[in-house]
Structure 1
Amino acid sequence: MSHPAFSAPAPLASANELQSIFEAQQHAVRLHGAPTYTQRIDALDKLERMVKSNRQRFLDTISMDFGNRSFSETELGELMPILNSIKYVRSHLKRWMRPQKRQVGMAFKPASATVVYQPLGVVGIMAPWNYPLTLTLVPLIEALAAGNRAIIKPAELTPRTAELLKELISATFPSDQVAVVTGGPEVAAHLSTLPFDHLLFTGSTRIGRQVMAAAAANLTPVTLELGGKSPVVYCRDYSLEKAARIIAIGKFFNAGQTCVAPDYVLVPDDLVETFALALLDAAKALYPRISANQDYTSIVSQRHYERLDDMIEQAEFSGARVWRPTNEGSAQERKIPPTILTDVCLDNTVMREEIFGPILPVIGYATLDDAIKLINDRPKPLALYCFTHNGASIEQVLDRTRSGGVTINGTMLHATQEDLPFGGVGESGTGAYHGYDGFVQMSHARGVFKLSRFNMSHRIAAPYGKLTRLITRLMLGK
């Protein structure tokens, strides 16, 4: 994911505002303790009403921030995941909150052992621009479900959405429960230095390193949802046309500005051109035109538009073949048409950096081992996709690669499953959330051991005598 770089510390006013909100939330944690189940459900209900009653405002505002953002993509990629998450968490929260019984060792009986999930306290959420609602409010849902208070920093690349969130959150929650702070990189930099009880950041690997370094000074635990080059492995036993359509749907949704979008496709050597043509056909069917097409999302900023244009130009200069269903892209609308690249030099920027746009290299491989090697020669991706019905091939890809998550015979859908953890590994992130895993990530698992009234463990003590020797012989098997 793309995210602007950090710069100097926040101006004094911003620093003071942040500090004041943070201290107020800390005070509320100490004063009120852990929220009850009813209070947590009430918070989720408020959030749900806020989202539902402002549906059109969200659609309009996000579209304005992008230049054009398909309303359907905002509904599918933002509003539905948020409302589904609230529904899922609400239906399971009571069970998640119950203390979990654990086993007690024979030598320590009679006693009981339980794990109690307690709120961490004050959680920081630093959100990106590409899904400015989902990647802000889904972490908030899980923070509230776990009983925490939260400070949210939306992305400055979608400023209208950030201001709308600030307005609506402040009207829905007291600032000592949930608060939104807006501003540029300096605000984000200062936020990451506060001694949060947990900090969740979604953005680029480069900025993730900076966030983790700043949080380390306070030993603040972090969840980093980053990005990387998510590969697709296509095996020839799967329908080529069907795979091309599925991949095109996932890749060109939100104009490729999705952290788990396919970043390059690996296909058998003799099928590279055929697959590129199938992708073109699929793109034409999805988007018959690009300019003035409300279904096709714009690139979020001029800087990102130029970055993507430079990627294509560099690849073409190095000998890549550029395939497009149309050359109709509109610079005025910041729209780049779906672009397929073949004969790509692996040293080009398009194969070294996360693309985050509607550009898709197709790379040939001789054997599945070669495809796996190419994946493993790169940092571990946030997502991995494999198209095959062959169980042995699936097992080979899963066993010999590492990635945050996987969808077999599809793209991106693992990230929509409420009962699956979502997160990266290595350079694509650390920690995971969604559903129960998000509840656990935002909680402290507190082990509680309770001795029975008749427990005799206090008798095993110095000066050690016959009882101690008897017990140790029994326990050690002598």
Structure 2
Amino acid sequence: MKTTPIESINEVYEKQLAYKSVLKQSLAEDRIKLLKKLLRSIENNSEQIKQALFLDFRKSPIETDITEIFAASFEIKEIIKNLAKWMRNQKVSKPLSFFSIKPYLHYEPKGNSVIITPWNYPFQLPISHLASSIAAGNTVILKLSEYSPHVNEVIASILKEIFKEEHVFVVNGAKEETTHLLSLKFDHIHFTGSSEVGKIVMAAASKNLSDITLELGGKSPVFIDKNVNVKQVVKNIIWAKFVNAGQTCIAPDYLIVDKQIQNEIEHTFKEELVRAFGENPKDSPDFARIINDKQFDRLVEGLNDARAIGAHLIAGGISDSKERYISPTVIRNVSQQNKLMQEEIFGPILPIIYVEQINEGLNLVNSKEKPLALYIFSKDANYIKHVIRNTTAGGTCVNDAMVHILHPNLPFGGVNNSGIGQSLGWYGFKSFSHERAIAEARFMPMSKFFWFPYTDKTKSVLKWLRKVM
């Protein structure tokens, strides 16, 4: 697609500034009507979406259905079902000392928003976050990744049919367009991407004191106890790690495994990878490719460096630059100084670290930045509690992986280096809304008790308040 001219961005930005006051008055039914149109359009264009994902990085139609179309549609349906309830004023309890005050929370749109999205889930992420902002009553400028042009074209076509540009506008481009957007004043900025770029976005937001949501990433560890059903755990991890060829922000990044099950787990990985993708995963219709040459070269370099300084290959390790193909790879004895253990892998390479004591693994995880996700596989409740109590992560799954992002009643987000703020469902609506505190005096103003001049009566009232508070 053509890059969006800066002049067009500025023109629409001004239109959206004027239109946000109109949207502020919109009702739940107005927003739901638009979201229903969006849902129908996704269903009607599902084949075009699948084709676009295949062209951008050879993603299988079924995987696109699961991770892109279903995930986005599910999010929109949850919003449609709950929006009227979310938009109502929320009562809060009141203490006896505030007997004359009716307190409640009022949810209002933040105003004009910009959503900057990545390439790894180029349909699901833009549409899901767009739906949250629409539900909250904001205008949206949607900046799509330049690395997924075919999907961008489908998204732009869908949105243009439903929304006026003063409501929703798609921007295509790269660094220049993103930098320009960040120079403008937005009421809310939602960014999904790397921690490195997240710092740049946060610095830009600070100049206008814009509210911000950052969905970043990090090295999401997996703790595997010795008492598990190894086959079941390995199959679970293979899906979570190698879906989308490992290009998932909450994919398992490395395993911390009890050394007692080393032989069994390595044998099982070899066996189950063949069952999942065949003897030659390159021929599997279910295995995606790396998005571009830059990411491919980064991953191959990290893998080659790791092997050169002593890492042992358990499975995979094959690559083809013409197809940007890297086979599902499992590796052990990776040096902590290697890039694979220093940076988020974001590809189909899975290091295993064996430990004799759980605290070895805990010390390793806690020596790194706080991850976006952390996974625990164990039948021992004390083991599970110990890991949770002694680590920090944006979210955690126990005896499963990645499914927490789909749960409609759980927030999705990171902590510090892995993100700021929360998204999806009710939490996405809240992120794009201003939670306004309202204290309504019903019988008499509280200030009456403290009117000038201060007297002994004032002291008595204060003494009573101290007792009942």
TM range (shorter): over 0.9
Q: TM-score, normalised by structure 1?
A: 0.94
Alpha-carbon spacing, 1:56–1:477, altered in 2? closer, same or farther (3 Å): closer
Which moved further from structure 2: 75-84 or 281-290? 281-290
CA contact (8 A) 2:141 2:169 kept: yes
Residues of 2 paired with 1:249 and 1:292: CA distance? 17
2:39 equivalent to 1:48: yes
Q: List gaps (5 residues or longer) in structure 1.
A: 1-10
Q: Which residue of 1 aligns with 2:125?
A: 135
Residues of 2 paired with 1:308 and 1:292: CA distance? 20
2:350 equivalent to 1:366: no
Q: Which residue of 1 aligns with 2:313?
A: 322
What is the count of residue pairs matched by the alignment?
465
**Deviation of the 1:22 alpha carbon:** 1.5
2:15 equivalent to 1:16: no
Which moved further from structure 2: 423-432 or 96-105? 96-105
2:175 equivalent to 1:185: yes
The one of 393, 401, 404 equivalent to 2:394 is 404
Which moved further from structure 2: 378-387 or 183-192? 183-192
The one of 364, 376, 379 equivalent to 2:366 is 376
CA contact (8 A) 1:157 1:300 kept: yes
Q: List gaps (5 residues or longer) in structure 2.
A: none
Alpha-carbon spacing, 1:390–1:184, altered in 2? closer, same or farther (3 Å): same
Q: Which residue of 1 aligns with 2:244?
A: 254
Alpha-carbon spacing, 1:241–1:193, altered in 2? closer, same or farther (3 Å): same
Which moved further from structure 2: 269-278 or 467-476? 269-278
2:440 aligns to what SS in structure 1?
Answer: strand
Indicate the RMSD between aligned Cα atoms, in angstroms. Answer: 1.7
Give the letter for the 1:398 counterpart.
I
Residues of 2 paired with 1:193 and 1:418: CA distance? 34
**Deviation of the 1:419 alpha carbon:** 1.1
The one of 71, 82, 102 equivalent to 2:72 is 82
Residues of 1 paired with 2:60 and 2:42: CA distance? 18
Q: TM-score, normalised by structure 2?
A: 0.96
1:227 aligns to what SS in structure 2?
Answer: coil
Give the letter for the 1:126 counterpart.
I
Which moved further from structure 2: 467-476 or 252-261? 467-476
CA contact (8 A) 1:125 1:150 kept: yes
CA contact (8 A) 2:72 2:125 kept: no
Q: Which residue of 2 aligns with 1:7?
A: none
1:255 aligns to what SS in structure 2?
Answer: helix
CA contact (8 A) 1:34 1:119 kept: no
Superposed counterparts of 1:414-433, under 5 Å: 414-433=404-423
CA contact (8 A) 1:108 1:457 kept: no
Give the letter for the 1:181 counterpart.
V
Residues of 1 paired with 2:40 and 2:101: CA distance? 45
Alpha-carbon spacing, 1:477–1:130, altered in 2? closer, same or farther (3 Å): closer
Q: Which residue of 2 aligns with 1:102?
A: 92
The one of 28, 43, 48 equivalent to 1:57 is 48
Q: Which residue of 2 aligns with 1:4?
A: none
Residues of 2 paired with 1:192 and 1:323: CA distance? 45
Which moved further from structure 2: 227-236 or 265-274? 265-274
Residues of 2 paired with 1:291 and 1:470: CA distance? 81
2:325 aligns to what SS in structure 1?
Answer: coil
The one of 249, 264, 270 equivalent to 1:280 is 270
**Deviation of the 1:457 alpha carbon:** 3.7
Q: Which residue of 2 aligns with 1:299?
A: 290
**Deviation of the 1:30 alpha carbon:** 2.3
Give the letter for the 1:110 counterpart.
S
Q: Which residue of 1 aligns with 2:198?
A: 208
